[in-house]
Chain A
Amino acid sequence: MSGEAVVLTGFLAAAIRISTPLLLAATGEMLNERAGVINLGVEGAMLAGALASALGAMEAGPWVGVLLAVAAGVLVSGVFAAVAIGARANQIITGTAVTLGAVGLTGAVYRTAFGASGPGLSLPTFASVPIPLLSAIPVVGPAVFNQPLLTYLAWLLIPAVGWFLFRSWWGLALRATGESIEAARASGVPARRVQVLATLAGGALAGVAGASLVLAQVGTFAEKMTAGRGFIAIAIVVLGRWHPGGVLLAALLFGGASALQFALQAAGLAAPYQLFLVLPYLLALAALAGGAGRSRQPAGLGK
Chain B
Amino acid sequence: MSATAALELRGISKAFGSVQALHGADFSLAPGEVHALLGENGAGKSTLMHIAYGMTGPDRGTIRVRGALVSIRSPRVARALGIGMVHQHFTSIGALTVGENVALAIGRRSDGQSVRRTEIALPARLMEGLPIGARVDTLSVAQRQRLEIVKALATGATSLLLDEPSAVLAPSEVEELLALVREFTATGGSAVLITHKLPEVFKVADRVTVLRAGRVTLHAPVAGQTPVSLAEAMIGEAPVGHTAEVLGTTAPRATPAVVDAAPARPAVRVGGIDVMAGELVGIAAVLGNGQRELLRSIAVGRGTAFVPEDRTIEGLIGGMTVTENMVLGLDTDPRWSRGARLDWNAARTRTAELIERFGIRAPGPDAPAATLSGGNQQKVVLARALEQGPQVLVAENPTRGLDIKATVEIHDRLRAAAAQGVAVLVYSIDLDEVLELSQRVLVVHAGTVREAPKGADRRVVGEMMLGVRER
Contact = CB atoms under 8 A, between A and B. Distances in A.
Interface of A: 167-170, 172-173, 175-176, 179-180, 182-184, 186-189, 298-299
A167 B93 CA distance: 17
Contacts of A188: 74-76, 79, 105, 107
Interface residues on B, range: 20 to 34
B76 to A, nearest CB: 5
A210 B396 CA distance: 54
A179 B104 contact: no
Contact of A186 (B87, B94, B103, B114): B87
B105 to A, nearest CB: 5
Given A176-B104, A179-B94, A179-B95, A186 B115 contact: no
B416 interface: no
A180 to B, nearest CB: 5
A186 B100 contact: no
A172 B114 CA distance: 11
A167 B91 contact: no
14 contacts: A169-B110, A172-B104, A176-B96, A179-B93, A179-B94, A183-B91, A183-B92, A186-B91, A187-B91, A187-B101, A187-B104, A187-B105, A299-B94, A299-B95
Contacts of B76: 188
B94 A172 contact: no
Contacts of B87: 186
Contacts of B105: 187-188
Interface in B157-174: none
Secondary structure of the A side of the interface?
helix
Contacts of B103: 169, 172
Nearest to B109: A169
B91 A182 contact: yes
Q: Which of B79, B103, B104, B114 has the most CB of A within 10 A?
A: B104
Contacts of A173: 104
Given A179-B94, A299-B95, 9 more contacts: A168-B112, A169-B108, A172-B112, A175-B96, A179-B95, A179-B96, A184-B93, A187-B101, A188-B75
Interface string B70-110: 00001110010000000100011111100011011101101
B115 A169 contact: yes
B96 A167 contact: no
A182 B151 CA distance: 16
Nearest to B55: A186
A189 B108 CA distance: 10
A233 B83 CA distance: 45
Given A188-B76, A188-B107, A167 B114 contact: yes
A298 B96 CA distance: 11
B359 to A, nearest CB: 34
